[in-house]
């Protein structure tokens, strides 16, 4: 593994943390692009499946296949996948395929279509006759196209997400040393995401449009929101319900972004955890201030900021992490989704600082009295 983006004077303790903090799939092998080939399931008992739509700004590796690399495409590509869930599936986990998918043991693609932009939007509109909702997942740093696709399928399955499920995949290098390049690729994709959000909301008079972004994908999402506000597309912004999980954004930069975006009709929800080790490394590598995803909801300044710009900060430290980085709690959407979807039950009608109780699957706000004083 190259360390070309690491400072040579990096202390040993921080270096050791850096080497582990951004591991996406643990010790297991990462899925290759070939795992997106259709798998024959004849002779296998009926499997649970999820329909996932994908939009990407990545370059296509083969002109006739839905396989993509880390290059930046001039035109976005669109596809529809049917992903099977293995019988041994455990909530919050992705049973990753390696070089080849085995539907008996791993996530697998059992059907797919290549779509153009109009077909893509039409397919999303008619994806679920029972729901007009759209759930859009914007992945983070060090993710390949296939990894983001399988993660979206896992979250959709575990949380029983209604409506159309969409993954927006930007050209991440999908390697540990690609942090700086990934930031550039995420920024490159902001206009594409803004345009997609415009198209996705255009014909939607009912139903929610959720944007769920993780880590560096939150940077991309906030930049797209800023673009929409500058373009005076309040009609689009008013239909979005945005959730940023462990956002890898400099806190000072985020403050200036929100000065442009302003108060959203539906408050932005930010899932934070002060013990997020990956964001601590990001802070060090960027030589910047605190990352938004590691803010402390008990901090009076955070509470005041939440009130002033209409943001809901939720501390999710009580959710069991998937690895030692404490950075991938977002995958446990099966626990979080019911509370996030039912604002009145969760007590999330207002901006403020909250703590998520994983055991009770509820959100409490012991800081309301403090935020009330600060807002006077």
pLDDT tens digits, 39-94: 999 889 899 999 999 999 999 998 888 999 999 999 999 999 999 999 999 988 99
Phi first, then psi: what are they for 52, rounded to 5°? -125, 130
Q: What is the CA radius of gyration of the chain?
A: 20
Given a cut of 90, whether residue 308 has pLDDT beyond it is: no
> Could you tell me the pTM of the whole model?
0.87
Q: pLDDT confidence of 343, banded at 50, 70, 90?
A: low
86 within a domain of the structure (yes/no): no
User: Which span out of 6-20, 25-39, 261-275 was modeled with the highest average pLDDT?
Assistant: 261-275
127 within a domain of the structure (yes/no): no
Find the CATH number of the domain harbouring 365: 3.40.50
Q: pLDDT confidence of 285, banded at 50, 70, 90?
A: low
* CA dist., res. 330 & res. 325, Å (int): 12
- Average pLDDT score over the chain: 84
pLDDT tens digits, 95-150: 999 889 999 999 999 999 999 999 999 999 999 999 999 999 999 999 999 999 99
Instruction: Give the orientation angle of helix 251-261 with respect to helix 216-230, to 10 degrees.
Output: 30
pLDDT value, residue 114: 97
370 within a domain of the structure (yes/no): yes
Given a cut of 50, whether residue 18 has pLDDT beyond it is: no
pLDDT tens digits, 148-167: 999 999 999 998 888 999 99
Given a cut of 90, whether residue 244 has pLDDT beyond it is: yes
Largest CA distance in the chain: 67
For 288, residues 6+ apart whose C-beta sits below 8 A from its C-beta are 250, 252, 253
Domain count, the chain: 1
Q: Which string of b and e fits 326-342 if b means at least 16 CB within 10 Å? A: bbbbbbbbbbbbebbbe
Q: pLDDT confidence of 7, banded at 50, 70, 90?
A: very low
Please provide the DSSP assignment of 150-181 as one string: HHHHHHHHHHT--SEEEEEE-----STT-HHH
Helix (H), strand (E) at residue 313: strand 311-315
Q: pLDDT confidence of 375, banded at 50, 70, 90?
A: very low
320 within a domain of the structure (yes/no): yes
Q: Which domain holds residue 227?
A: 12-27+132-374
Vertex 244: Cα angle to 335 and 30 (nearest 5): 75
In terms of pLDDT, which residue wins out, 196 or 312?
196
Given a cut of 80, whether residue 367 has pLDDT beyond it is: no
pLDDT value, residue 14: 45
3-state secondary structure of 5: coil
pLDDT tens digits, 185-206: 999 999 999 999 999 999 887 8
The mean pLDDT of 251-267, rounded to a whole number, is 93
Q: pLDDT confidence of 276, banded at 50, 70, 90?
A: confident
Q: How many CB atoms lie within 10 A of CB 198?
A: 16
Query: What's the distance, CA 209 to chain centroid?
Result: 14
Query: What's the distance, CA 326 to chain centroid?
Result: 15
5 within a domain of the structure (yes/no): no
* CA dist., res. 40 & res. 44, Å (int): 9
* CA dist., res. 111 & res. 81, Å (int): 6
105 within a domain of the structure (yes/no): no
The mean pLDDT of 177-187, rounded to a whole number, is 93
3-state secondary structure of 147: helix
57 within a domain of the structure (yes/no): no
117 within a domain of the structure (yes/no): no
For 246, residues 6+ apart whose C-beta sits below 8 A from its C-beta are 140, 214, 215, 218, 271, 272, 273, 276, 278, 279, 293, 294, 327, 329, 330
């Amino acid at each position: 593994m190259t360390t070309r983006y690491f400072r040579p004077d990096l202390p040993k303790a921080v270096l050791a943390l850096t080497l582990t903090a951004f591991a996406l799939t643990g010790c297991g092998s990462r899925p290759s692009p070939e795992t997106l080939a259709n798998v024959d399931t004849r002779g296998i008992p009926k499997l649970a499946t999820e329909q996932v739509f994908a939009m990407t700004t990545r370059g296509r590796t083969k002109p006739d296949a839905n396989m993509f690399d880390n290059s930046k495409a001039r035109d976005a590509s669109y596809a529809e996948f049917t992903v099977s869930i293995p019988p041994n599936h455990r909530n919050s986990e992705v049973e990753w395929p390696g070089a080849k998918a085995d539907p008996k043991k791993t996530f697998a693609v059992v059907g797919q279509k290549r779509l153009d932009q109009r077909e893509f939007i039409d397919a999303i509109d008619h994806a679920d006759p029972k729901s007009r909702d759209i759930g859009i997942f914007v992945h983070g740093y060090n993710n390949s196209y296939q990894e983001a696709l399988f993660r979206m399928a896992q979250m959709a399955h575990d949380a029983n997400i209604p409506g159309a499920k969409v993954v927006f995949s930007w050209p991440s290098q999908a390697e540990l040393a690609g942090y700086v390049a990934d930031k550039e690729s995420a920024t490159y994709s902001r206009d594409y995401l803004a345009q997609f959000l415009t198209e996705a909301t255009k014909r939607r008079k009912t139903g929610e449009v959720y944007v769920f972004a993780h880590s560096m994908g939150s940077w991309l999402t906030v930049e797209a929101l800023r673009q929409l506000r500058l373009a005076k597309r309040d009609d689009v912004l008013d239909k979005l319900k945005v959730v940023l999980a462990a956002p890898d954004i400099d806190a000072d930069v985020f403050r200036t972004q929100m000065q442009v975006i302003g108060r959203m009709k539906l408050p932005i929800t930010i899932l934070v955890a002060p013990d997020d080790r990956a964001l601590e490394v990001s802070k060090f590598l960027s030589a910047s201030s605190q990352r938004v995803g590691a803010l402390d909801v008990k901090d009076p300044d955070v509470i005041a900021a939440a009130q002033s710009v209409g943001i809901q900060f939720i501390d999710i430290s009580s959710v069991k992490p998937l690895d030692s980085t404490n950075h991938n709690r977002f995958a446990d959407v099966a626990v979080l989704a019911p509370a996030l979807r039912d604002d009145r039950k969760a007590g999330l009608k207002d901006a403020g600082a909250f703590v998520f109780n994983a055991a009770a699957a509820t959100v409490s706000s012991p800081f309301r009295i403090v935020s009330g004083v600060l807002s006077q």
